[in-house]
Structure 1
Amino acid sequence: MDPLAQLQDIQLPEKIHNYPLAIGWWIIAVICIALLIFISFKIINYKKSRRLQQKAITQIKSNNTLNTADCVAVLKWAALQYFPRENVANLYGNNFHEFLLEALPNNHQEEFKNLSKDSLQTMYEKDLSDSDNISFQQASVFWLKHALPPKTNSVTNQTLMESKR
């Protein structure tokens, strides 16, 4: 008898499937998907919170002929969008200026004071110069950029709420 005749053909094993994946890969996939969803929600919320701020900035920057009263109207509208109505709606003149200062972070308050000077007190005078209007426009844009949207857990918001009661 021939020993080679008794040999059978080489048989290949069954194919190895890619699934099911190891548990580690499933955990990594779930973490990546959750991270993408979290980042997407953060970006969407950031854009929503800045939309009204950008609208007010565009309104002030697009019209170079705005006087101080028009800038105050835009600032008040923007403040009403982010702060409680009862704290903002009845403010004018020096009280509104104090509100604007308190809404800013401490490191930006001095620059806003320099830009706005006493524009809110003198806005009802007839002979305001164009430089005063331009300076207050710059102060308005500065305030919109640095005060809005307000920080949710900041001391400033708590101070504003307490001081207006």
Structure 2
Amino acid sequence: MNPLDQLHDIVAAGDVGWWPLAWGWWVLICLCVVGLCLIIRSCFRAYARARPRRLVLAELQRPHESLSAINSTVKRGLRMAQVPLEINQLHGKDWIDFLVNTGPNGNSNNFQTQLRAFSDRLYQSNNEESVRRYQALMQQWAAQTRWLYKGGADV
């Protein structure tokens, strides 16, 4: 008898399935889930920190009667943002200096000149045009400043 007749055909192995996954895939999936959770959490936190700014900008869209009413709106937003200064005690030159130093255009002479001109008329009777221009100036300041985020300037 021939010994080769006793041999059987080679049986090919079946395809390798996806399950169960190797431990490396589980680590990768866990890292992706944790990363996604961290991204979602940071988005929610950024949205919550920007709430005072959104409220101030919405309030500045409404018509105001005077320049001091606009200042009150901005100060209220700064208090909501937990600015580490006594905002209510700032007035006159100190308030203008705060706006100039913290605003995005703080070093801009035009921004500083406009603010100083409005500070001279703060407690006088104002016409509608000057209130509208001051309101636009404060909208620009509020839209570009970092102080209207919760936590103040360190954000």
Tell me if TM exceeds 0.5: yes
For 2:112, the equivalent position in structure 1 comes to: 113
Using structure 2 for the length normalisation, give the TM-score.
0.76
For 1:43, the equivalent position in structure 2 comes to: 43
CA distance in 2, matches of 1:138, 1:117: 15
* Identity %, equivalent residues: 16
1:1-165 counterparts in 2 under 5 A?
A: 18-61=18-61, 63-82=62-81, 83-84=83-84, 86-105=85-104, 108-109=105-106, 110=108, 112-126=111-125, 128-147=126-145, 148-149=148-149, 150-152=152-154
CA distance in 2, matches of 1:130, 1:117: 18
* Matched letter for residue 32 of structure 1: C
The answer (yes or no) to whether the contact 1:60–1:141 under 8 Å persists in 2 is yes
Cα distance, 1:67 vs. partner? Answer: 1.8
RMSD: 2.7
Q: How many aligned residue pairs are there?
A: 144
Structure 1 spans left out of the alignment, 5+ residues: 1-5, 154-165
The answer (yes or no) to whether the contact 1:52–1:78 under 8 Å persists in 2 is yes
* Matched letter for residue 58 of structure 1: A
RCO higher in 1 or 2 (8 Å CA, sep ≥ 6)?
A: 2
Using structure 1 for the length normalisation, give the TM-score.
0.72
For 1:158, the equivalent position in structure 2 comes to: none
Give SS of 1:118's match. helix
* Matched letter for residue 154 of structure 2: T
The answer (yes or no) to whether the contact 2:96–2:116 under 8 Å persists in 1 is no
Cα distance, 1:15 vs. partner? Answer: 8.6
